[in-house]
Amino acid sequence: MVHYLPKPIMPVTTLTPRCGQCGSRRTEVIGMSIDLKTTYLRCTDCGASVQVPARDAREAVLAQ
């Protein structure tokens, strides 16, 4: 009798924006602009703040 193993589960790639200063992906959302077009992120490794378009940040959050 032949047994077929299920396909291995592929890891989910996250779209978390990288820190502009150190390149780490360990960032957290710290705020948004009033018009909701810009998201402000802070790097948890080096503490630098980065601005990214809100669409990129929203896709990163939905991917997790």
43 three-state secondary structure: strand
Cα dihedral 31, 14, 27, 35 in deg (nearest 10): -20
Where do the structural domains in the chain lie, given as residue ranges? 19-54
pLDDT at 42: 92
d(CA 61, CA 63): 5
Burial class (CB in 10 A: 0-12, 13-18, 19+), 43: buried
**Which tens digit of pLDDT belongs to each residue from 6-50?**
766 655 555 677 788 888 888 888 988 888 888 888 999 999 988
- What pLDDT does 38 receive? 86
